[in-house]
Amino acid sequence: MESRSPICNTCGEEIGVKSNGEFFVACHECSFPICKACLEYEFKEGRRICLRCGNPYDENVFDDVETKTSKTQSIVPTHINNTPQVDSGIHARHISTVSTIDSDLNDEYGNPIWKNRVESWKDKKSKKKKKDAKATKAEEHDGRIPSQQHMEDMPSNTEAGATDVLSVVIPIPRTKITSYRIVIIMRLIILALFFNYRITHPVDSAYGLWLTSVICEIWFAVSWVLDQFPKWSPINRETYIDRLSARFEREGEQSQLAAVDFFVSTVDPLKEPPLITANTVLSILALDYPVDKVSCYVSDDGAAMLSFESLVETADFARKWVPFCKKYSIEPRAPEFYFSLKIDYLRDKVQPSFVKERRAMKRDYEEFKIRMNALVAKAQKTPEEGWTMQDGTSWPGNNTRDHPGMIQVFLGYSGARDIEGNELPRLVYVSREKRPGYQHHKKAGAENALVRVSAVLTNAPFILNLDCDHYVNNSKAVREAMCFLMDPVVGQDVCFVQFPQRFDGIDKSDRYANRNIVFFDVNMRGLDGIQGPVYVGTGTVFRRQALYGYSPPSKPRILPQSSSSSCCCLTKKKQPQDPSEIYKDAKREELDAAIFNLGDLDNYDEYERSMLISQTSFEKTFGLSAVFIESTLMENGGVPDSVNPSTLIKEAIHVISCGYEEKTEWGKEVGWIYGSITEDILTGFKMHCRGWRSIYCMPLRPAFKGSAPINLSDRLHQVLRWALGSVEIFLSRHCPLWYGCSGGRLKLLQRLAYINTIVYPFTSLPLVAYCTLPAICLLTGKFIIPTLSNLASMLFLGLFISIILTSVLELRWSGVSIEDLWRNEQFWVIGGVSAHLFAVFQGFLKMLAGLDTNFTVTSKTADDLEFGELYIVKWTTLLIPPTSLLIINLVGVVAGFSDALNKGYEAWGPLFGKVFFAFWVILHLYPFLKGLMGRQNRTPTIVILWSILLASVFSLVWVRINPFVSKTDTTSLSQNCLLIDC
């Protein structure tokens, strides 16, 4: 068999031979096939690590092609020095108020500046015309060589690369997962037999009740399938941070870790206390990560002077706090939560000066809190003439609905240093422009503004967004995420890494399931085994290129269906016959944006490429900012060298102007997606539809922690917001039932999971009906189940056993406690009969009548009394439906026992079935009843009066109408009465 040069894995050409006649080998560890031309391109782009094993290329190879390489540019600019900084003791008050500017779209030669990037793509594949012939020859040759020979041609050194693996997948033990799946299949079979019995055995005496119950049970079964099967293949993951440091942080060399831009969002500082936001910012600035790789952007969407002033104080205190955290490696690095830890803080601390410095730092923090509280107290009453800054000028954000864009850089690499003289991460205050008549899209619009600002100023390849009340609990959290995102094999298709949400300030019993353990520890781990977890709004590390709408590089491209389906302004003159000639981005028909895969540009001819990189196509997608457009083409991040440093702040102001997104794809295909108040679910769904996958990272020490609304009213309003967002998605064009089906990038089980996230609020309708049935049965003396036979008894028993076994085995592989599972089940009923029910009606009112509902930001404040808010009951209409159900079922139980006492012994048997049914409802609503009563029975009187009134009216009307019970023949009854001898 004749010998032949291996084929390059990148371009499909033969790798060629060296001067000594041997085949060219780039990596001597795994012999990854790549030709010299492609290797030169990899060096030019700054990638000097083998794509297969992750080992650096051989030094001899570097010497051979070093003359054609260029140094990689700095990821974060150090020349933004025209902005006032915060020095020790001096608080800068300068505000940039330029809202719109004219962008210079051309370079000094009159050409679009991003066209300079095209030149590097032209050199990558100059032999395009020979590709078809080489590919055909390769296919013929492959047909002659057995598959075993292919394996021998590319030997792999797994042992050499084993130590370079940054993360591993740890599957659930087979004994646990196999039995779990068997029980799921058994439960499906039992459900089928159960519904066969229920449908074929109607209750003639109460046909309406029976039909209602069967419809509800069928819906519950469908909901169970949608929730259960995405958990078919749960997995665990393990990361190796030490290997990440060994690969990218070599001693004596500059760190090669990727830069990260942090986004912190806040709206109303009176409802989201500035002290909590300050702790979140301080925990970010003190991260265990290179300071030149971290930038923190704080979005003040309310343009409040209080937020700005508190950030000034935070930047000043950070100069003391950051070196203290890094010197002693304390955890967590949010001062409020560190000083409140009830542990022995001297454990594992051997420095004699630690106690002295800790006491001094605690005093400094107490003084910092006093200054912050003074700012809050001052902001309680707004002056009639508006707020005035210390320099005497009026605060630009006095009118929160009509103000210019504002940006202030507080800390940075060329600015103020800490008390020890070390550099600090960049801290930037951003308040986007707002004008009447413009749609600002709330939090999603604020996040998109931060995406553009950060791209202009720092342009880190990765973005981590946090709510203002979620601080960094694990200083190595970013390193955990980088073990996935910077992996040369695993990371290329990962759009984001999601961390579970953990919360402080919740009592051990977790009465209202605020921790949401079942979702984060069971459902999300199940999704990680399919295409990845859903985006939950905070604690997420994004790949910036994925937010721009690009598809993953390794996914197979889908050819356009017609010659006219192309990127924005590109029109194909001739459709090629060979599918391998042109690879396109995976776009569905509804995607009309100029979004493409950067790697595909080399497969177009010169005319097509120039049209694709035209000014028109990019501006239609990303807006009128040449600096931002060029930054989108930089896959590894960094500010373009062609940008004038003196104009960066003005350009940043320009990209946050209120009219910047008009006639662009922002919010449609780029950035956070608009159309729902739960923009997180929608944004992650669009990414998964493009073929990206996500990763679920669960480090032993929780990465982030936040504060949760723990009282009943706030919890129900939070659930109402989530459910309303799901209903909006269901009624939009992005409904997972049909959106993205033509692309084929979303896996079936992943689609089931997304369908479950948008249809679960509709379960409230059958749930309310099913919780009302026990009271109806007790009041009317009828039941929804006929007299049970032996077969029926076995089916009911098997169904209950399968439900219990499924839960037990789920607890076994997930590690969730029984109490957490039960609390989740209880609040599923509480939220279903209240918040979910209101969300369904509000969603349809918004769609049909255009009535929009305003969402009030959940209060994050807490009383001095521990868990004091747990016992506060605030008036809300959400409390009426579950209270009414409780009263109706309690009245039904009393009526049922009274009726049994009157009828005698024979009535007690059927009574137990009805009472068990009623107690099932009461037991699930028990946390609601306990929360309604509060610690001192401070339930609002209006709630009790309305509930009793509704329950009484409903019971009396029901007894009078009695629609579900068969009517008695009054004619025969009167004839029987005439025969009675009085």
CATH number reported for the structural domain that contains residue 439 in this entry = 3.90.550.10
- pLDDT, tens only, 479-536: 999 999 998 878 888 999 999 999 987 877 888 888 899 999 999 999 999 999 999 9
Are 46 and 39 in contact, with CB atoms under 8 Å apart?
A: no
Q: Which of 25, 47, 62 finishes a domain? A: 62
Would 823 be classed as within a structural domain?
yes
pTM, two decimals, is: 0.76
Asked whether residue 442 is marked as a ligand-binding residue, the answer is yes
In which domain, by residue range, is 903 found?
Answer: 174-232+764-937
Average pLDDT over residues 823-833: 91
For residues 285 and 17, the model is more confident at 285
pLDDT digits (tens, 9 = 90+) for 230-270: 999 999 999 999 999 988 988 888 889 999 999 999 998 88
CA atoms within 13 A on the CB side of 327: 18
Q: Alpha-carbon distance 351 to 127, whole Å?
A: 64
In this structure, the answer to whether residues 817 and 694 fall within a common structural domain is no
User: Do 700 and 787 fall into the same domain?
Assistant: no
Q: Please state the length of the chain.
A: 982
Q: In terms of domains, do 700 and 833 share one?
A: no
Rounded Cα–Cα distance for residues 525 and 697 (Å)? 9
Residue 653 domain flag: no
Residue 946 is encoded by which pair of tokens?
């309305």
Give the CATH number, domain containing residue 58: 3.30.40.10
Helix or strand holding residue 974 (H, E): helix 970-978
Greater model confidence, 613 or 633: 633
Question: DSSP H helical segments within 614-741, as ranges?
Answer: 615-622, 626-632, 648-655, 679-689, 712-730
843 vs 941: CA distance, rounded Å = 29
Q: What is the pLDDT of residue 483?
A: 93
**747 within a domain of the structure (yes/no):** no
Candidates 372, 223, 309; CA nearest to 766 is 223
The 3-state DSSP class for residue 914 equals: helix
Q: What is the pLDDT of residues 267-289, one digit of tens each?
A: 988 888 999 999 999 999 999 99
- Residues 881 and 824 reside in one and the same domain: yes
Q: What does the pLDDT average to over 421-448?
A: 90
The stretches of 329-353 forming alpha helices (DSSP H) are: 335-339
Strands 540-543 and 462-467 turn out to be antiparallel
The reply to whether 140 sits in an annotated binding site is no
Give tens-digit pLDDT for 524-568.
999 999 999 999 989 999 999 999 988 888 765 443 333 333 333
- Span 74-119, pLDDT tens digits: 333 333 444 433 333 333 333 443 333 333 434 443 444 444 444 4
Q: Please list the alpha-helical segments (H only) found in 581-635.
A: 606-612, 615-622, 626-632
**Which among 254, 271, 260 has a CA at the least distance from the CA of 297?**
260
**Residue 225: inside a domain:** yes
- Note whether residue 513 is domain-resident: yes
Q: Is 507 annotated in some ligand binding site?
A: no
- 342 plus 479 within the same structural domain: yes
Residue 578 catalytic?
Answer: no
Assess whether 523 and 471 both reside in one domain. yes
Residues 226 and 295 grouped into a single domain: no
402 is in an annotated binding site: no
Question: Do residues 461 and 549 both lie within one domain?
Answer: yes
Number of domains in the chain: 3
Q: Last residue of a domain, which of 33, 62, 91?
A: 62
- 87 is annotated as contributing to ligand binding: no
Decide which of 62, 83, 107 is a domain's last residue.
62
DSSP summary character for residue 789: -
**Region for 934 from its dihedrals, namely left if φ exceeds 0, alpha if ψ lies in -120 to 50, beta otherwise:** left
Task: Report whether 268 belongs to an annotated binding site.
Answer: no
Pair 454, 384 in one domain = yes
- Note whether residue 119 is domain-resident: no
Among 261, 680, 714, 820, the one annotated catalytic = 680
Same domain for 271 and 226, yes or no, is no
Do 404 and 502 lie in one domain? The reply is yes
Q: 962 falls in which pLDDT band (50, 70, 90)?
A: low
**Is 70 one of the annotated binding-site residues?**
no
8-state DSSP, 111: S
pLDDT tens-digit readout, 297-341: 999 988 899 999 999 999 999 999 999 999 888 889 999 999 988
Q: Report the C-alpha gap between 438 and 582 in whole angstroms.
A: 41
| Domain co-membership, 270 together with 211 | no
Identify residue 18 by its one-letter amino acid code: K
Cβ neighbors of 898 (< 8 A, separation 6 or more) are none
Mean pLDDT (the chain, rounded): 76
> Is residue 900 a part of any domain in this protein?
yes
Options 292, 301, 487, 510, the catalytic residue: 301
680 belongs to the catalytic site: yes
- Give me the phi and psi of 658, to 5 degrees please: -70, -25
Contact assessment for residue 618 and residue 594, using Cβ atoms and an 8 Å cutoff: yes
Q: For residue 709, which phi and psi values (nearest 5 degrees)? A: -70, 115
Q: Burial, 310: exposed, middle or buried (Cβ in 10 Å; 0-12, 13-18, 19+)?
A: buried
Whole-angstrom Cα distance, residue 828 to residue 924?
A: 9
Beta carbons within 10 angstroms of residue 170's beta carbon: 10
Range with the poorest average pLDDT among 15-29, 365-379, 629-643, 675-689: 15-29
Structure tokens at 356: 């002295």
Domain assignment present for 585: no
Q: Which of 826, 759, 739 minimizes the C-alpha distance to 227?
A: 759
